[in-house]
């Protein structure tokens, strides 16, 4: 059984959730769990919940298929049945046994589960209300987000939002026409990223207005002063912020580190201050204008004229 409240670190992808999660994982009191809401990353033993859409929306109205799985995950109860079903070959059994026993041992050691999952952003209230999760939400400048999306040439399947009637009803109905348009026509990767940022962060803004028990952190503020920023995050999460953790965070974020990660590689050691402005070289002036035109109504809740 886990000791203490679960932790959720979320916000749109490419907004620093991995960096934040890995820095919080420096605490000996937590165990990092990688993206159980991500349809491209399924670990049956850790979490047997299966999602059909990217950025799924779970509420008490549709939780029946998901609640038992997350209850087991957050109690560090390895799902042997699901794991064996997914790994039927005998050569997988030794590794599965090692992984399962290590996962279960987290509960015996009194660890707290740390879900690092940008794809859980729409379901954050469900995790908070049903499991008592303490929620940290990352927000990153829309141009920085789009600059990263452009780098990877990622396109989002907008029809997957329309396929979630509860999400549309509760949060995205005002944007239905735009979502339908983006799902039906060819759009550039810059337009795609800007609209996705707008939709995700419109919901984040709604949360920020009513969830005073959550912590909302701008990626840029955290990047300018990581030690102070993470000390605040640790305090919010009721975790001890030791001198060793302070030194490690500085080592992972100071100016001696590279300014950006190699393509398709996760990098936790970056020059965090330089990383703030990478979008100015990744996007043209015309593309920046496009991002601002599409995302500006929501971006104005988080960023000022000077941030552009």
Does residue 2 register a pLDDT over 90? no
Lowest mean pLDDT of 7-11, 122-126, 144-148, 267-271, name the range: 267-271
Instruction: Note the pLDDT tens digit of each residue in 94-124.
Output: 888 898 999 999 999 999 999 999 999 999 9
Does residue 222 register a pLDDT over 90? yes
pTM: predicted TM-score of the whole model, two decimal places: 0.94
> What percentage of the chain has pLDDT greater than the value 70?
96
- Provide the pLDDT for residue 263: 65
Eight-class DSSP state of 32: E
How far apart, in Å, are the Cα atoms of 13 and each of 54, 80, 93, 144, 201?
A: 11, 30, 33, 11, 11
Does residue 265 register a pLDDT over 70? no
- Provide the pLDDT for residue 83: 87
User: In which band, very low, low, confident or very high, does the pLDDT at 90 lie, cut at 50, 70 and 90?
Assistant: low
3-state secondary structure of 15: coil
Eight-class DSSP state of 120: G
Calpha distance 81→292 (Å, rounded):
48
- Provide the pLDDT for residue 257: 79
User: In which band, very low, low, confident or very high, does the pLDDT at 8 lie, cut at 50, 70 and 90?
Assistant: very high
The HSE-up count of residue 180 (CA atoms within 13 Å, CB side) is: 6
Contact 66, 123 (CB under 8 A): no
> What percentage of the chain has pLDDT greater than the value 90?
83
Does residue 18 register a pLDDT over 70? yes
Eight-class DSSP state of 170: I
Instruction: Note the pLDDT tens digit of each residue in 130-178.
Output: 999 999 999 999 999 999 999 999 999 999 999 999 999 999 999 999 9
Tokens, residue 166: 């509860």
User: In which band, very low, low, confident or very high, does the pLDDT at 293 lie, cut at 50, 70 and 90?
Assistant: very high
Tokens, residue 144: 């920085």
Does residue 239 register a pLDDT over 70? yes
- Provide the pLDDT for residue 269: 80
Whole-number mean pLDDT of the chain?
94
Does residue 228 register a pLDDT over 80? yes
Instruction: Note the pLDDT tens digit of each residue in 19-49.
Output: 999 999 999 999 999 999 999 988 999 999 9
Report the candidate in 205, 226, 217, 232 with the shortest Cα–Cα distance to residue 275: 226
Contact 213, 133 (CB under 8 A): no
**Average pLDDT of the residues in 224-237:** 98
> Could you give the angle at the alpha carbon of 160 between the alpha carbons of 70 and 294, nearest 5°?
115
Instruction: Note the pLDDT tens digit of each residue in 175-189.
Output: 999 999 999 989 999
Point out which residues pair with 115 in neighbouring strands.
8, 33
Does residue 297 register a pLDDT over 90? yes
Report the candidate in 240, 24, 214, 14 with the shortest Cα–Cα distance to residue 127: 214
Structural domains of the chain, with CATH: 7-243+273-307 (3.40.50)
Better-predicted residue by pLDDT, 2 or 7: 7
């Amino acid at each position: 059984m886990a000791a203490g409240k679960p932790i959720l670190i979320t916000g749109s992808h490419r907004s620093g959730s991995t960096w934040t999660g890995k820095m919080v994982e420096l605490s000996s009191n937590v165990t990092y769990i990688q993206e159980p809401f991500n349809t491209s990353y399924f670990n049956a033993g850790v979490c047997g919940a299966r999602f059909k859409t990217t950025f799924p929306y779970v509420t008490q109205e549709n939780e029946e298929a998901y609640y038992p799985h997350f209850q087991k995950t957050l109690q560090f109860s390895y799902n042997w049945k699901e794991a064996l079903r997914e790994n039927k070959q005998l050569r997988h059994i030794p590794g599965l046994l090692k992984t399962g026993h290590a996962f279960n041992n987290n509960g015996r050691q009194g660890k707290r589960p740390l879900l690092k999952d940008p794809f859980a952003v729409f379901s954050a209230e469900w995790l908070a209300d049903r499991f008592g999760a303490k929620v940290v939400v990352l927000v990153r400048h829309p141009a920085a987000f789009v600059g990263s999306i452009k780098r990877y040439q990622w396109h989002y399947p907008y029809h997957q939002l329309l396929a979630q009637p509860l999400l549309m009803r509760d949060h995205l109905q005002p944007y239905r026409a735009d979502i339908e348009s983006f799902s039906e026509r060819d759009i550039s990767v810059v337009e795609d990223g800007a609209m996705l940022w707008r939709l995700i962060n419109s919901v984040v803004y709604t949360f920020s207005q009513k969830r005073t028990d959550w912590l909302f952190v701008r990626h840029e503020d955290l990047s300018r002063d990581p030690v102070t920023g993470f000390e605040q995050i640790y305090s919010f999460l009721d975790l001890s912020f030791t001198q060793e953790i302070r030194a490690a965070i500085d080592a992972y974020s100071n100016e001696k580190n590279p300014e950006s990660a190699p393509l398709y590689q996760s990098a936790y050691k970056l020059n965090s201050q330089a990383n703030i402005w990478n979008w100015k070289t990744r996007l043209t002036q015309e593309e920046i204008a496009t991002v601002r035109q599409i995302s500006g109504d929501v971006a104005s809740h988080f960023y000022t004229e000077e941030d552009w």
